[in-house]
């Protein structure tokens, strides 16, 4: 019965140590795609620890569950986990973790429903501000221009994704800067960054007392923008996308001394202009492989007693 406790301890240790190590590392800003992968693996490992601990705790608490979980396993494997000795806290642990899993699923569903509602609302507002011409099909144009005095551009996802840009932004963006903004937003769409943001928001909103989930949400918002900046800069250059960011945000006070909700924009511009060197391909491969091994550790902890019993 030590395995469920070891899994919970491993999950807590991963949730505490991994974010601190990533916060101290200097490479995430240089390789945001690798950092995104690393964060996902860390969160998956934490969730996997909880799921495996819940399963084994339920198997220890109820013989019916134990019969289903270890149905194809020989008797020696079941004995190796020492689940039949009776533990009064096993049922409480299993129920608490199961409730946490259901709550996580409910938060994810709520986040997706809210995102779809916001998307429908923005499409409705878009049709009001830019009505369709006679014979024009909804979503037929990937670029929609709106009259507006504020420079702005955003990607509207969906079955017919569109880039919406205001006339003020068109006046500010020069040369290939508009193409760079389009490439940036298309990078978000191709990498399905919206799903990362939904999942991280669901975990952070569902468990606000868990620091690793709050850090996961904050880093997802930051890293997806850096990754999209890199995708655009590879096609149009770092200076082009940096000037486009300045043009879209200079009237919002983000480059002033007072903090704003878009305070990350100056950091993105500075990163693009200083052009940090990328990591070598070998180091990127090592970091990717190391991240992939993080979720494997809970599986090893869970299956090692059974594998030992099999000889």
pLDDT tens digits along 192-202: 888 899 999 99
What's the rounded Cα separation, in Å, for the pair 243 and 164? 19
Yes or no: say if 245 and 232 are a contact pair by the CB < 8 Å rule.
Answer: no
What's the rounded Cα separation, in Å, for the pair 50 and 48? 5
Which pLDDT score, from 0 to 100, does residue 100 have? 92
What's the rounded Cα separation, in Å, for the pair 136 and 57? 59
Which pLDDT score, from 0 to 100, does residue 1 have? 60
What's the rounded Cα separation, in Å, for the pair 120 and 124? 6
Two structure tokens written together for 262: 């878009």
What's the rounded Cα separation, in Å, for the pair 221 and 204? 12
Instruction: Examine the pLDDT at 129 and tell me if it is beyond 90.
Output: no
What's the rounded Cα separation, in Å, for the pair 50 and 45? 9
What's the rounded Cα separation, in Å, for the pair 117 and 195? 15
Which pLDDT score, from 0 to 100, does residue 8 have? 92
The residue ranking higher by pLDDT, 222 or 159, is 222
What's the rounded Cα separation, in Å, for the pair 275 and 53? 45
Which pLDDT score, from 0 to 100, does residue 224 have? 95
Instruction: Examine the pLDDT at 20 and tell me if it is beyond 90.
Output: yes
Two structure tokens written together for 216: 């996961």
Indicate the pLDDT class of residue 257, thresholds 50, 70 and 90.
low
Count Cβ atoms below 10 Å from residue 137 Cβ, excluding itself.
8
Beta bridge partners of 145: 165
Which pLDDT score, from 0 to 100, does residue 80 have? 77
Which pLDDT score, from 0 to 100, does residue 213 have? 94
Residue 128's φ and ψ, nearest 5 degrees, are -70, -45
- What single DSSP character describes residue 208? T
The residue ranking higher by pLDDT, 22 or 84, is 22
Which pLDDT score, from 0 to 100, does residue 278 have? 86
Instruction: Examine the pLDDT at 140 and tell me if it is beyond 60.
Output: no
Output Rg (C-alpha) for the chain, integer angstroms: 24
What's the rounded Cα separation, in Å, for the pair 301 and 239? 48
Two structure tokens written together for 79: 């004995």
Beta bridge partners of 301: none
Which pLDDT score, from 0 to 100, does residue 49 have? 94
Which pLDDT score, from 0 to 100, does residue 43 have? 96
Share of the chain above pLDDT 90, in %: 43
Which pLDDT score, from 0 to 100, does residue 292 have? 96
Two structure tokens written together for 281: 């391909």
Percentages of the chain per state (helix, strand, coil), in multiples of 5: 70, 5, 25
Which pLDDT score, from 0 to 100, does residue 38 have? 96
143-146/162-166 β-pairing: parallel
Instruction: Examine the pLDDT at 87 and tell me if it is beyond 70.
Output: no
Please count the residues of the chain: 311
Share of the chain above pLDDT 70, in %: 91
Which pLDDT score, from 0 to 100, does residue 125 have? 81
Q: What is the largest CA-CA distance in the chain?
A: 75
Per-residue pLDDT of 48-85, as tens digits, reads: 999 999 988 888 888 787 777 777 777 777 777 777 66
91 sits in the region (left: phi over 0; alpha: psi -120 to 50; else beta) called alpha
């Amino acid at each position: 019965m030590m395995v469920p406790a070891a899994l919970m301890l491993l999950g807590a240790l991963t949730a505490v140590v991994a974010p601190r190590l990533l916060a101290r590392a200097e490479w995430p800003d240089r390789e945001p795609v690798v950092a995104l992968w690393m964060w996902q693996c860390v969160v998956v490992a934490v969730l996997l620890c909880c799921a495996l601990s819940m399963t084994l705790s339920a198997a220890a608490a109820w013989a019916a569950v134990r019969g289903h979980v270890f149905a194809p396993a020989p008797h020696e494997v079941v004995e190796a986990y020492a689940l039949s000795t009776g533990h009064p806290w096993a049922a409480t642990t299993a129920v608490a973790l199961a409730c946490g899993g259901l709550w996580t699923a409910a938060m994810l569903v709520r986040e997706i429903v809210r995102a779809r509602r916001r998307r429908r609302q923005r499409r409705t507002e878009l049709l009001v501000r830019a009505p369709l011409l006679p014979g024009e099909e909804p979503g037929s144009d990937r670029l929609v221009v709106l009259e507006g005095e504020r420079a702005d551009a955003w990607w509207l996802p969906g079955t017919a994704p569109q880039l919406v840009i205001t006339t003020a932004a068109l006046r500010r963006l020069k040369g290939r800067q508009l193409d760079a903004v389009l490439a940036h937003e298309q990078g978000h769409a191709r990498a399905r960054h919206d799903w990362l943001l939904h999942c991280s928001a669901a975990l952070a909103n569902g468990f606000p007392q868990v620091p690793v989930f709050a850090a996961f949400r904050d880093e997802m918002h930051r890293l997806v923008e850096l990754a999209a900046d890199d995708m655009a800069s590879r096609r149009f250059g770092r200076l082009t996308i940096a000037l486009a960011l300045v043009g879209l945000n200079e009237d919002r006070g983000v480059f002033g001394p007072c903090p704003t909700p878009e305070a990350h924009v100056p950091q993105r511009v500075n990163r693009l202009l200083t052009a940090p060197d990328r990591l070598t391909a070998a180091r990127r491969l090592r970091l990717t492989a190391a991240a992939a091994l993080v979720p494997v550790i809970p599986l090893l902890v869970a299956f090692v007693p059974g594998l030992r019993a099999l000889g």
